[in-house]
């Protein structure tokens, strides 16, 4: 992958794998049939794929044909090699792990068991284009049956099995998007599976397993891993530059993270000139409401007004405190929560004290009014503004396709979300997903937009949000697992 000049991947190849091809051009050759997620249905004929491989190789390029699973298990590998051999092009075969084996294993289903199944039958749900069937339906029901590419054909396959005498209560599992963070397992019985798969909207790609071994899925867990958020799809709406730590924590917990930045931070013009005019002796304390404020205030003061660093700082939250201290500011107090009460508790007596608040433009005024009411002298100093960002079409499609949680770390991101998505789309997103808020101010913005069921972080930090998410998805019956 690192040395080749061209990669021709199947549609189900994980995009992360393609990052290995640093110097190669990527030529998508995915064949995704009906039933695939919205927007993913593509058709590229086998003849065109064969021609593409030959054309690229004749340029003198080293070409990787990246198949999903094993190239010779329902993968048309033989047809491609025959075309290459006929064209006089040398090739090498690297065996892969077929989803026929990997998907059940990752779902906790052993396809053989010395007590329950001593034989396995694999079949494809799709037959030749001329309609001729190559499947011998006299399949023993004493073993395990694994069906690939069978979602759209399952009603017919199910009827054939029942007609051949398979038990109506035979366990069935549909393993959707196997081995990916979006994996979902839907369990049923043979008699009920058609209706269950329809009601649960099982879509391709999915591997269907029929047999007594399916019972182990419920006993061993629906995945081969036990990380707290394994299989949970979480949308992060923070700017990419600010989300790195939170995203890393989520991924370490097993979550599938989709970055959807809804705001960007834009420093205001003439900032350094305005900072130059501030006199350090005029202030008892500087209040830093966010890591953004700490970072931008430091940049504005550097080489212009270093004296401001001698003023005592009260930071809101540990992350803001860490950011300020790392830049040499004197953090004397840290508010535990991102609300008025938390800051006032940290400040103590404020009467006749002078506070400088470098912050976001047009920020909420409740806290400032409370300081003034208590006798403090306050000057707000606008450092930056937040600008709404519209998600890309790809990200929109991913979110509308389903997410388990959408996280908000600011009221401005919440407001941008309501601008980016229509009410009908928001309703669709939260049919499955939950809303996760970093604190009370963000929660209020979400409620003003019409959302009611909100998981609020007990502590206004990324760590607090992570714990809230873990607690929510540790409950039985979370949306990714469905045992009928």
Active site (catalytic) residues: 10, 31, 149
Helix (H) or strand (E) holding 122: strand 120-124
DSSP code per residue over 303-319 = TT-GGGGGS-EEEESHH
Helices (H), 141-290: 154-163, 193-199, 215-220, 240-252, 271-276
For residue 252, give both structure tokens.
Answer: 């370490």
For residue 248, give both structure tokens.
Answer: 């890393």
Pairing type for strands 313-316 and 377-388 reads unpaired
Question: Could you give the CA distance from residue 232 to residue 253 in angstroms, rounded to a whole number?
Answer: 10
Question: Could you give the CA distance from residue 105 to residue 102 in angstroms, rounded to a whole number?
Answer: 5
Pairing type for strands 256-259 and 233-236 reads parallel
Pairing type for strands 263-267 and 256-259 reads unpaired
Q: CB neighbours of 23 closer than 8 A, spacing ≥ 6?
A: 2, 3, 4, 5
Q: CB neighbours of 158 closer than 8 A, spacing ≥ 6?
A: 190, 193, 194
Indicate the SS3 state at residue 413. Answer: helix
Sheet with 481-483, side-by-side order of all strands: 120-124, 144-148, 206-210, 171-176, 184-189, 481-483
Question: Could you give the CA distance from residue 57 to residue 39 in angstroms, rounded to a whole number?
Answer: 30
Interhelix angle 366-373/340-347, nearest 10 degrees: 40
């Amino acid at each position: 992958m690192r040395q080749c000049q061209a990669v021709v991947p199947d549609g189900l190849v994980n995009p992360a794998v393609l990052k290995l091809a640093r110097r190669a051009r990527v030529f998508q050759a995915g064949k995704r049939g009906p039933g695939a997620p919205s927007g993913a249905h593509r058709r590229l004929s086998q003849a065109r794929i064969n021609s593409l491989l030959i054309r690229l190789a004749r340029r003198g390029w080293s070409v990787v044909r990246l198949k999903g699973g094993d190239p010779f298990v329902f993968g048309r590998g033989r047809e491609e090699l025959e075309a290459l051999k006929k064209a006089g092009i040398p090739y090498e075969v690297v065996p892969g792990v077929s989803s026929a084996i990997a998907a059940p294993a990752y779902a906790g289903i052993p396809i053989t068991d010395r007590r329950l199944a001593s034989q396995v039958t694999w079949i494809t749900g799709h037959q030749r284009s001329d309609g001729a069937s190559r499947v011998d339906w006299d399949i023993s029901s004493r073993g395990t049956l694994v069906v690939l590419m069978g979602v759209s054909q399952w009603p017919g396959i199910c009827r054939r099995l029942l007609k051949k005498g398979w038990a109506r209560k035979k366990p069935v599992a549909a393993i959707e998007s196997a081995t990916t963070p979006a994996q979902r397992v839907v369990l049923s019985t043979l008699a009920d599976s058609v209706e269950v798969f329809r009601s649960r909207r099982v879509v391709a790609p999915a591997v269907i397993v029929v047999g007594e071994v399916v019972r182990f899925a419920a006993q061993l867990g629906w995945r081969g891993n036990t990380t707290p958020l394994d299989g949970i799809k979480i949308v992060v709406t923070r700017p990419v530059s600010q989300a790195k730590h939170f995203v890393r924590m989520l991924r370490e917990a097993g979550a599938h993270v989709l970055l959807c930045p809804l705001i960007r931070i834009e420093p205001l013009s003439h900032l350094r000139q305005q900072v130059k005019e501030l006199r350090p002796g005029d202030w008892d304390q500087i209040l830093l409401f966010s890591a953004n404020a700490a970072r931008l205030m430091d940049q504005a003061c550097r080489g212009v007004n270093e004296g401001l660093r001698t003023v005592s700082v009260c930071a809101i939250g540990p992350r803001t405190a860490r950011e300020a201290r790392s830049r040499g500011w004197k953090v004397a107090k840290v508010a535990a929560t991102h609300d008025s009460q938390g800051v006032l508790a940290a400040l103590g007596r404020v009467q006749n004290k002078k506070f400088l608040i470098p912050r976001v433009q047009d920020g909420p005024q409740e806290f400032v009014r409370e300081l003034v009411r208590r006798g403090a002298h306050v000057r707000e100093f606008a450092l930056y503004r937040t600008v709404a960002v519209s998600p890309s079409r790809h990200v929109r499609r991913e979110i509308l396709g389903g997410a388990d949680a959408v996280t908000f770390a600011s009221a401005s991101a919440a407001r941008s979300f309501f601008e980016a998505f229509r009410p009908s789309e928001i309703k669709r997103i939260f049919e499955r997903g939950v809303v996760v808020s970093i604190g009370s101010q963000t929660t209020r913005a979400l409620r003003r937009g019409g959302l009611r069921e909100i998981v609020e972080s007990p502590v206004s930090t990324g760590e607090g949000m992570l714990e809230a998410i873990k607690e929510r998805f540790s409950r039985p019956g979370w949306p990714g697992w469905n045992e009928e």
